[in-house]
Chain A
Amino acid sequence: MNIYMDYQATTPCDKRVVDEMLPYFTEKFGNPHSGHGMGLEANDAVDDSRRKIADLVKANDPREVIFTSGATESNNLAIRGAVHYYKSERKKIITSTIEHKCVLETCRSLQSEGYQVVFAPVLSNGIVDMDFLKKEIDDNTILVSIMSVNNEIGTIQPIKEISKLCREHGVLFHTDAAQAVGTIEVDAGDVDLMSVSGHKIYGPKGVGALYVRIKPRIRLTPLFFGGGQERGIRSGTLPVPLCVGLGKACEIAKNEMVQESRRLTDMKNYFIDKILSRLEKVYLNGDRERRIPGCLNFSFEGVEGESVMLGMPEVCISSGSACTSASLEPSYVLKAISIREDLAHCSLRIGLGRFTTFEEVEYVSDKIIETVTRLRNMSPLW
C-alpha cells in the first residue's frame, strides 16, 4: 500500500486526461505541421489545447502559448532567450534565492557569460523581499524572474506587486508558475513570460508551455533551431498526445479549481492544527496564510527528516534534509528563509492533491505523530 503525499514532486495523470490523449497515439497520429487531412486534424487538436491553456492562464491570444518539453525548458527558454535577445540594451538579471534549480542554474550560466545576476533574498516567511527588489531594479535590468509559488514551502509570491515594479522600470517579467497554474488563479496579464508544467497539474510528464506575450511583442532567441514551429521560438514537431493532455489538464483544473481549493484548504488546516496541537516544537516553514493549500512543510525539532520517512515507508513524502539529497546539502530554500540549521535537517514536505482523501490525512498525520515521538525518544537533542 502506498499513500502518495508528494504532489509538488509530481502528480498522477488524471484518467480523463489519459482518455483524451489516447487516440492521438494511434488513429489520430498525424503531424500537425502536415497540410493533409490528418495533419489538420492533429493541428486542430493542438490549437484546441492551446486555447485551453490560454484560458487557464488568462492569456489574450492562444498564440501566446508555446509548447515545450516541460517547465525546465520553459524556464531556460524564457530567461536565456530574453536575455540573449535584448543583451545589447541591458545586462542585469534579478531573480530570487528560492527559485527552482532550473532557474538558478540558467542564471548562473548567464553569469559566467558576463551578465550581472542578483539573487534577491526572501523574508523568514518565504516571501521575496520587495524592498530589496525595489532597490535593485534599474535601467540596466533586462529581466526579473520570480516564481509564482515555491515548490518546497508553497509560499505565494506577490506577483502583481512585482509586475507593477517591473512595468515602472520597463523591465521584462518572467514567472515560473509550475506550482501555481491550476492550483491558484494566475494572470498572464501581470507578466511577459510564464512557465507552465504538465505533470504538476495531473497532465503528462514531458510537456509544458511558455506564455510569451504578443502585445507588446516579447522576442526570444531560441534555444535550438529547426523547422521554425511555435512562432519560430521553439522548433520541433509537436508531441500531439502530450499537448492534448496538457490542454485537458488545464481545462479540468479551471473547472474544478474553486471547489478543489476549498477541499484542500480544509484538509491543510486540519493537518496543521492536528500536528501543532499534538506535538511540541514543530515549526511550519513558510507563511501559513500566503501559501497554496496543498503544500505543507514542517520541521520537527530533534528528529532528522529521512529517519521519519523511513519509519513510515508506505507514505510518500519528501524531506529537505541533507540525507535525502545526493549532494548531502540541506535544502537551500529552508536555508534562505533562515531557519536554524539543524531544523533544515528536520523538515518534511507533505503535498496534498486531487486524489488525497480525508482518511489519508488522518492516517498520515497519526503516523507522523507516532514516528516523531518514537524517534524523539532516542534523540540526544530531545
Chain B
Amino acid sequence: MKYSEKLMELYSNPKNVGSLDEKDKNVGTSVVGAPSCGDVIKLQIKVDDEGKIADAKFKTFGCGAAIASSALITDWVQGKTLDEAKKIKNQDVAEYLSLPPVKAHCSVLAEEAIEKAIENYLSKKGEEICKK
C-alpha cells in the first residue's frame, strides 16, 4: 500500500504511545475494534481540573494507517476541552493522512476511540457525583 509521507512519519515515530492509570478518576479509557478484524485501538485521555485534556495515550494493533490515525488523534486532542475534542471528525484524520479509501475505517475507528474515552471519563465523573 502506498502511503503519504505524513502517515509514514507518524507510523515510524509515533508520539503518545503508552498507557495511563486506568483507575485514575480523571482518566477515560476506550478499547475499540476487534482482534479478529485486524484492528484494535486502546485510547486513554487524562482530563485536568479545567476540563481540558492534559494527556492522551494510545496502543494500537493494526496496519500502518491504524497506528498513524491513533497517533494523530491523540496529538490533536491535547489541550482541547472535551467539546472541542468531540468535534474532530474521521474525515479530518483521513484527509490529513491522505488515507486511501480502503483505509477510511481506520480513521473512523480513531474517532470512535476518542468518543468512547470521553464517554468513559464522563460516566466515571457521573458516578462520582452520585456518590456525593
Contacts and interface: CB of A to CB of B under 8 A. Distances in A.
Contact of B62 (A307, A326, A382): A307
Given A342-B38, A345-B37, 11 more contacts: A304-B39, A304-B63, A306-B64, A307-B63, A307-B64, A310-B8, A310-B11, A322-B37, A378-B14, A380-B41, A380-B61
A378 B59 contact: yes
B1 A304 contact: no
A182 to B, nearest CB: 31
A323 B40 contact: no
Contacts of B129: none
Contacts of A303: 61
Interface in A285-306: 302-304, 306
Given A304-B62, A324-B1, A378 B67 contact: yes
B46 interface: no
Nearest to A319: B63
A256 B92 CA distance: 56
A380 B40 contact: yes
A378 B17 contact: yes
A379 interface: yes
Contacts of A382: 61
Given A304-B62, A342-B36, A326 B67 contact: no
State the majority secondary structure of interface residues on B: mixed
B61 A306 contact: no
Interface in B41-76: 41-42, 58-67
A306 B7 CA distance: 14
Contact of B61 (A304, A310, A330): A304
B108 interface: no
Interface string B1-28: 1010000100110100100000000000
Given A307-B11, A307-B67, A341 B36 contact: yes
Contacts of A321: 38, 63
Given A302-B61, A307-B63, A342-B35, A380 B1 contact: no
22 contacts: A302-B61, A303-B61, A304-B38, A304-B61, A304-B63, A307-B64, A310-B3, A310-B8, A310-B11, A310-B64, A322-B38, A323-B1, A323-B38, A323-B103, A341-B35, A345-B35, A378-B58, A378-B59, A380-B40, A380-B42, A380-B60, A381-B61
B17 A323 contact: no
B59 A306 contact: no
Interface residues of A, number: 23
A269 interface: no
A342 to B, nearest CB: 4
Nearest to B14: A378
Given A306-B63, A380-B60, A380-B61, A345 B1 contact: no
B31 interface: yes
Contacts of B59: 378-380
Nearest to A327: B102
A60 B37 CA distance: 50
B38 A330 contact: yes
Interface string A213-251: 000000000000000000000000000000000000000
Nearest to B65: A323
B7 to A, nearest CB: 9
A323 B63 contact: yes
